[in-house]
Structure 1
Amino acid sequence: MREFGYRRVSDVAGAVALHGADPEARFLGGGTNLVDLMKTGVERPARLVDIRELPLDDIESTPEGGLRVGATVTNGDLAAHPEVRRRYPALAQALLAGASGQLRNMATVGGNLLQRTRCGYFTDVAQPCNKRVPGSGCPAVQGEHRNHAILGASEHCVAVHPSDMAVALTAFDAVVHFETVDGPGQLPVADLYLPVGDTPHRETALPPGALITGITLPPAPVAVNSRYRKVRERASYAFALGSVAAALDVRDGVVRDVRLALGAVASRPWRALTAERVLTGAPAGPETYAAAAAAELAAARPLPRNGYKVDLIRNLVVAVLTELAEEAAR
């Protein structure tokens, strides 16, 4: 780890100005991802701007009936908040599935959104990686890619996004708020992450030097009946092989509203809009759920050793939607 400067800040404007004065600076929240990458040499910031003391640690209801969450709220506090558990249970479940209690008590909402891929070629500086060194190649395409993307990838990168929380936020149309030297801005979580294309090193649509200040969850009655299901290689905490965030409203045997997002299948949380269109207005039942999943996964382009993800995700979608429909009928 090379030497770096450190500065603790107490106001948003000061944090943004300090970062803007040094292009090699990084914002430091909980540090659960950034510090690890600094240790391995993947990240080499000249300065860390510590934002943990910024007044961004509140969770509050919005006048419209949604929730506003500050960027420095810890994953643990967000998962435990009674309104999150009541209104958006899939979000609480995603956070609880994402890491151990110790990590949840350190990791922040803003940092969770911006965590980097766990692809072994990205985290090993001795290996080429287009995400880390543009133009150096993507050895995962021909190498170890069992946990890599089946949707939205390219020949330049097949890594997946690691966040569980972001999958649930994508399903619920959450909006990310940020601050720059030019003023505030916002982006839907679905638009925060850029398609891989031929520039996998450009991961988000945030302006340079932008500081995430919080997220807003819009009111979503369907989210009350929601679930996050994650499949991993071991029972202890691990990154997903595949995951589903789903919410379902069934009335008189017909799907009236549905939200569906997939995790660990692409470089960003994957909103399953095709599946949602198939489901909306259709008879509720396993056959419909399977048809919707198949329609979404028709675009999948698995690699030689990760084709199992197609069946895995299809089965997950059917199982989770079936369970939600049965619970709503009780």
Structure 2
Amino acid sequence: MNCFAYTRAGTVAEAVQALANDPAAKIIAGGTNLVDLMKYNVERPDRLIDITRLPLSGITEHEGGLRIGALVPNSAVAFDAQIGARYPLLASAILAGASPQLRNAASTGGNLLQRTRCYYFYDEGTPCNKRVPGSGCPAITGVNRIHAILGTSDHCIATHPSDMCVALAALDAIVQVEGPAGARAIPIGEFHRLPGDAPERDTTLEPAEIVLSVDLPAESFPRHYSYLKLRDRLSYAFALVSVAAALEMDGEVIRTARLALGGVAHKPWRNREAEARLQGQPATPENFRAAADLILAEARPYAHNAFKIELARRAIVRGLSQAAAGTPQSQTDKRIQ
């Protein structure tokens, strides 16, 4: 770990200015990802800007939905009464991730900004386009079992690791940020990037912008939802494939469908065509398989992760079936229901 200076910001404006003054600085709150990266010398900031004293820790009503401050711990979101009643998909996704200790420390903003868990990204001794642009992506021809099958490029096939963000994508959340040019709102679907030819950029944040909050819209899917996470072990493991399914039902017919996948791309993956394919259709396995086929039509497997295509297809059908029946996947008993 390198030596670094430390600044504690007293206001959002101070934090933004400190970042603008020092492009090599990093924001720290819970530190559950950044500190690991610093220990591995993947991140080497010359200054840490502590934002834990900023007034960004509340969950409040906002335009018919809820606003979650960037500093609200993941555990507080998962166990908040309003979240549980109105946005149980989000609570379920958070409880599917990490461990209780990490959820207690990890912040909402930090979860949005966590970086990939690619083996090569974490290994300073190997090339990685995310660490050193232009150095290459050894995962493409190397060990790529956990890597992406959708939205990849010749420069990167890493996956986004968050469970929370997959649920936020299905819920059409909005991320509020502030930077030197002022405040702006970023739809969650536009917040994370596909790798393209600049995989070192995980998000669409501009320099010196910081996350203030996440806004949940009024439409919340409190009854027909499920967060299904498939992984190598039942606790404390990142998703091989995850599915956030949210439906509005009219009897046995799907009125509205939202579907986001994790573990398959550089960002939470949605396919609006597949969602439209389900709208107005009966909630049947045949229709769920048709939606899965649309989502996975452009999947590109690599040497060790071709299994993810069929795994994702089955997970989509199972997640949608759970949501339609109103029997969401339990995050206490994680065996697939």
Secondary structure at the aligned position of 1:255 is classed as strand
Cα deviation digits, residues 29-77 of structure 1 (max 9, x gap): 1000000000110000010000111100000112x32110000000010
Are 2:225 and 2:324, in contact at CA under 8 Å, matched by a contact in 1? no
C-alpha separation between the residues in 1 aligned to 2:220 and 2:158?
34
Any idea what SS the aligned residue of 1:98 has? coil
What is the aligned partner in structure 1 of residue 331 from structure 2? none
Q: Secondary structure at the match of 2:96?
A: helix
The question of whether the paired residues in 2 share the 8 Å contact of 1:262 and 1:272 is answered with no
Whole-Å Cα distance in 2 between the matches of residues 224 and 180 of structure 1? 37
Percent of residue pairs bearing the same amino acid type: 52
TM-score, length of structure 1 as denominator length: 0.97
Q: Is the 8 Å Cα contact of residues 86 and 224 (structure 1) preserved in structure 2? A: no
* Residue of structure 1 equivalent to 2:140: 141
- Aligned counterpart, 2:288: 289
Secondary structure at the residue paired with 2:314?
helix
Partner of 2:59: 59
| CA deviations over 1:74-109 (Å, ceiling 9, x no partner) | 001000101111111111011111111110110000
Q: Distance in 2 between matches of 1:224 and 1:259?
A: 13
Secondary structure of the residue aligned to 2:60 is strand
Counterpart for residue 43 of structure 1 = 43
- Compute the RMSD of aligned alpha carbons: 1.1
Q: Deviation at 1:272? A: 2.7
Unpaired runs of 5+ residues, structure 2, are 328-337
How far is 1:222 from its partner? Answer: 2.9
Instruction: Describe the superposition over 1:152-194 as per-residue Cα deviations: whole angstroms up to 9, x where unpaired.
Output: 0011100000010000000011000111122111101100112
Residue of structure 1 in register with 2:22 after alignment: 22
Q: Could you give the per-residue CA deviations for residues 110-156 of structure 1, whole angstroms, max 9, x where no partner exists? A: 01000000000000010000111000000000001001000000111
What is the identity, as a one-letter code, of the residue corresponding to 1:53?
R
Deviation at 1:223, TM superposition (A): 4.6
Counterpart CA distance in 2 for 1:295 and 1:82 is: 36
Q: Quote the Cα distance in structure 2 between the aligned partners of 1:147 and 1:274.
A: 26
Where do residues 69-218 of structure 1 align in structure 2 (5 Å cutoff)?
Answer: 69-218=68-217
Partner Cα distance (1:49, 1:249) in 2: 43
2: CA distance between counterparts of 1:221 and 1:287?
26
Report the CA distance between 1:252 and its aligned residue. 3.6
Q: Is the 8 A contact 1:7 1:50 kept in 2?
A: yes
Whole-angstrom CA distance in 2 between matches of 1:170 and 1:317: 15
**Structure-2 residue corresponding to 1:247:** 246
SS in 2 for 1:288: helix
Give TM-score, length-normalised by structure 2. 0.95
Unmatched 5+ stretches in structure 1:
none
CA distance in 2, matches of 1:224, 1:45: 44
Q: Does 1:229 align with 2:228?
A: yes
**Amino acid in the other structure paired with 1:239:** F
CA 1:69 to 1:308, structure 2 compared with 1: closer, same or farther past 3 Å? same
In the alignment, is residue 278 of structure 1 matched against residue 277 of structure 2? yes
Partner residue, 1:34? 34
Runs of 4+ in 1 over 4 A off after TM superposition: none
Residue 221 of structure 1: how far off its partner (Å) = 4.3
SS in 2 for 1:227: strand
CA contact (8 A) 1:98 1:238 kept: yes
Q: Which residue of 1 aligns with 2:8?
A: 8
Take 1:309 and 1:244, find their aligned partners in 2: how far apart are those partners? 13
1:228-281 CA-partner distances (Å, limit 9, x unpaired): 110110122111101000111221422101110000100000013222011111
